[in-house]
């Protein structure tokens, strides 16, 4: 039975489900429909999926291109999902990553009347009363929101981010569909060993709902503004909370030049190399000092507002580096610095996939080769994107999961390096990160840090000593009262069971067809019962039913591609 979850709540959800599956088929992913046993639900019982004339042309395109086209065709939710997957080399091959990075958020703006309606609904009054001036023509329009320029009654220029009306319901429906497809993919698709589709959807769910709630982005702006209070080279816009809600975000309007517009920057007299250095310094300060970094620092989100000042915009996507994650990073850096393969392997094995056997000797060999490739190589000659991708590939090869925040950080570092090299061909992000990383290592091996860690260990064991007797007593109580249960779950057999079920059904079907043919032949031979045109009616009926069932079985076998 198809796990529809909440999809059957209304007809629109069912139509959207059908639309998603139809787009997959049109773009040459019909084998997924067959593999997941969804063809029945797609055509409401028809076994043959109808394709439109465009499908043949589209199917000739490479699979990564077709996947990008599917994401674009299905709208905002799937575009956002594609953008998230474009930063996950641990999940998709390079060809898919490069193609999904082409996904654009730009869509036609919604009408000025809808903007006015949304502002009045959220802020309790029309824009003409709330603002001294309001410009109905949007500055930018994306899949989730669009931005309008306005000015407050005191003359302060502001940028108003307005959420697209009805986008929450669209995303809610699409997330239900993605959850159902993820469950089916794990059950029938055979991808559960490579990655967990349900975990990907769960992470995407968390990310996209954060982007939908503009108050969260507003608070992030506040944290960034506080973090960079003493940094004269970084400016973060102010949020006007009296004009902000979950669906409206009003912030200070910042006028500047996109950091990628090198010609404009040169014409303004700015030193491009210095700007690149400021951007790199600001970014390494975010993740190494603050533990909070911009997750999508593409050129449109970084403005140059002065000869020595840059501004970060659109903080809907951010990543965080917890103390535990920072400790793992410092352990990795310390292991690389000391060429300590054992330390690096120990850190990596903490992120190993469950139920996966890892060849420790092969992992250590790959780590040694990785270190040797980059050891004592001048930083100016190291390509950071290549280094990061090689490290991620090594983790993927040994079934070691890369934490999502570190994956976001890796993507951000590569993006920053790309911007930096536009400004300065000799730019190297590692040269800017190296001093801070060295300081992080020093803190990791300092006496104060070791003393603090020892204190935490002692405290943890003290808590364990307090709770252990109670836990043992509870366990013995459960055993003595026959309430102790062990749940066993088989893994990897779902596909085998499904295939066996299909095979047994086809064999049973064949027996029925054979029986009908034999029975009809006997009736024909006996020449008994009512006749039609001189032929026994029951025999003719039996042959007809056997022929129809045989044709149905043949179509099913041919469509499965397994003769």
**221 and 113 in one domain?**
yes
Q: What is the mean pLDDT of residues 147-162?
A: 95
Q: What is the mean pLDDT of residues 251-260?
A: 92
CA 17 to chain centre: 20
Instruction: Band the pLDDT of 342: cuts 50, 70, 90.
Output: confident
Distances (CA, A) of 251 to 105, 130, 216, 232, 321: 21, 14, 13, 20, 26
Sequence-separated contacts (24+) of 70-73 with Cβ below 8 Å: 70/23, 70/24, 70/27, 70/29, 71/100, 71/103, 72/103, 73/23, 73/27
Q: End of a domain among 201, 222, 253?
A: 253
**388 and 466 in one domain?**
no
Percent of the chain that is helix, strand, coil (3-state, to 5):
60, 10, 30
**219 and 166 in one domain?**
yes
**548 and 528 in one domain?**
yes
Mean pLDDT, the chain, whole residue set: 80
Q: Is 168 exposed, middle or buried (0-12, 13-18, 19+ CB in 10 A)?
A: middle
Residue 390 lies in a domain: yes
Which tens digit of pLDDT belongs to each residue from 362-372?
Answer: 888 998 888 88
The yes-or-no answer on residue 176 being catalytic is no
Q: Are 78 and 70 spatial neighbours (Cβ–Cβ below 8 Å)?
A: yes
**453 and 440 in one domain?**
no
Residue 307 lies in a domain: no
Dist. CA 147–CA 119, nearest whole Å: 12
Distances (CA, A) of 471 to 63, 413, 465: 53, 46, 10
How many separate domains does the chain show? 4
Using alpha carbons, select from 280, 295, 214 the residue that is nearest to residue 248: 214
pLDDT at 50 over 70: no
Q: Which domain holds residue 463?
A: 446-491
Give the helix ranges, DSSP H, for 447-488: 447-480
Give pLDDT, residue 46.
41
Dist. CA 519–CA 392, nearest whole Å: 64
Show the tokens assigned to 554. 């043949």
**437 and 511 in one domain?**
no
Name the most confidently modeled range: 50-64, 477-491, 519-533: 519-533
Residue 302 lies in a domain: no
Give pLDDT, residue 8.
46
**457 and 549 in one domain?**
no
Show the tokens assigned to 313. 């915009």
Q: Give the three-class secondary structure for 258.
A: strand
Residue 32 lies in a domain: no
Which tens digit of pLDDT belongs to each residue from 426-462?
Answer: 888 877 877 777 777 676 666 776 777 777 788 888 8
**480 and 400 in one domain?**
no
**216 and 157 in one domain?**
yes
Residue 99 lies in a domain: no
Q: End of a domain among 253, 270, 289?
A: 253
Residue 81 lies in a domain: no
For the ranges 20-24, 121-125, 206-210, 414-418, which has the lowest average pLDDT? Answer: 20-24
**470 and 435 in one domain?**
no
CA 125 to chain centre: 37
CA 51 to chain centre: 29
Dist. CA 446–CA 413, nearest whole Å: 27
**452 and 440 in one domain?**
no
Using alpha carbons, select from 59, 34, 41 the residue that is nearest to residue 189: 34
Residue 205 lies in a domain: yes
Residue 128 lies in a domain: yes
Q: Are 76 and 171 spatial neighbours (Cβ–Cβ below 8 Å)?
A: yes
Q: Are 166 and 145 spatial neighbours (Cβ–Cβ below 8 Å)?
A: no
Q: Give the three-class secondary structure for 377.
A: coil
pLDDT at 47 over 60: no
**Catalytic, out of 174, 176, 277, 296:** 296
pLDDT at 343 over 50: yes
pTM of the predicted model as reported, rounded to 2 decimal places: 0.70
Q: End of a domain among 410, 445, 480?
A: 445
Distances (CA, A) of 49 to 69, 281, 555, 556: 20, 55, 12, 12
Could you give the count of Cα atoms lying within 13 Å of 263 in the half-sphere of its Cβ?
A: 0
For the ranges 34-38, 286-290, 342-346, which has the lowest average pLDDT? Answer: 34-38
Give pLDDT, residue 1.
41
**483 and 502 in one domain?**
no
């Amino acid at each position: 039975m198809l796990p529809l979850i909440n999809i059957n709540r209304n007809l629109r959800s069912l139509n959207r489900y059908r639309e998603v599956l139809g787009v997959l088929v049109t773009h040459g992913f019909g084998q997924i429909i067959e593999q997941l046993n969804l063809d029945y639900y797609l055509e409401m019982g028809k076994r043959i999926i109808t394709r439109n004339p465009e499908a043949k042309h589209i199917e000739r395109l490479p699979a990564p291109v077709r996947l990008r086209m599917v994401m674009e065709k299905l709208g905002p939710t799937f575009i956002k999902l594609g953008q998230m997957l474009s930063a996950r080399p641990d999940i998709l091959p390079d060809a898919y990553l490069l193609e999904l990075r082409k996904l654009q958020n730009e869509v036609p703006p919604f009408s000025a009347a809808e903007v006015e309606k949304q502002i009045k609904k959220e802020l309790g009054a029309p824009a003409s009363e709330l603002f001294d001036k309001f410009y109905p023509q949007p500055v930018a329009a994306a899949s989730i929101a669009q931005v309008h320029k306005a000015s407050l009654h005191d003359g302060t220029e502001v940028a108003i981010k307005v959420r697209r009306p009805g986008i929450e319901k669209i995303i809610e429906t699409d997330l239900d569909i993605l959850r159902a497809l993820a469950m089916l993919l794990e059950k029938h698709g055979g991808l559960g060993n490579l990655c967990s589709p349900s975990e990907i959807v769960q992470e995407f769910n968390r990310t996209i709902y954060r982007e939908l709630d503009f108050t969260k982005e507003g608070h992030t702006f506040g944290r960034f503004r506080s973090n960079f209070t003493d940094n004269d080279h970084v400016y973060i816009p102010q949020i006007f909370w009296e004009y902000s809600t979950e669906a409206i975000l009003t912030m200070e309007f910042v006028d500047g030049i996109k950091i990628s517009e090198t010609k404009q920057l040169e014409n303004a007299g700015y030193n491009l190399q210095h700007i690149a250095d400021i951007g790199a310094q600001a970014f390494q300060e975010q993740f190494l000092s603050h533990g909070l970094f911009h997750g999508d620092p593409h050129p449109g989100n970084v403005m140059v507002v002065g000869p020595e000042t840059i501004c970060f915009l659109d903080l809907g996507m951010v990543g965080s580096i917890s103390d535990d994650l920072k400790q793992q990073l410092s352990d990795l850096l310390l292991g690389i610095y000391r060429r300590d393969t054992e330390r690096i392997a120990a850190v990596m094995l903490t992120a190993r996939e469950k139920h996966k056997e890892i060849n420790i000797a092969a992992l250590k060999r790959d780590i040694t080769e990785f270190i040797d490739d980059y050891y004592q190589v001048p930083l100016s000659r190291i390509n950071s994107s290549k280094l990061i991708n090689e490290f991620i590939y090594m983790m993927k090869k040994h079934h070691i999961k890369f934490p999502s925040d570190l994956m976001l950080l890796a993507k951000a570092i590569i993006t920053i390096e790309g911007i930096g090299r536009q400004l300065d061909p000799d730019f190297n992000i590692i040269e800017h990160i190296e001093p801070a990383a060295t300081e992080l290592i020093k803190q990791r091996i300092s006496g104060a840090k070791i003393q603090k860690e020892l204190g935490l260990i002692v405290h943890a064991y003290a808590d364990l000593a307090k709770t252990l007797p109670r836990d043992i007593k509870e366990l013995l109580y459960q055993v003595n009262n026959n309430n102790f249960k062990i749940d066993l779950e088989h893994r990897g057999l779902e596909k085998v069971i499904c295939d066996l079920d299909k095979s047994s059904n086809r064999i049973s079907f064949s027996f029925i067809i054979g029986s009908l043919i034999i029975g009809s032949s006997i009736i024909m031979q006996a020449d008994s019962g009512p006749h039609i045109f001189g032929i026994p009616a029951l025999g003719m009926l039996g042959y007809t039913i056997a022929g129809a069932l045989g044709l149905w079985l043949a179509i099913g076998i041919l469509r499965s591609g397994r003769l």
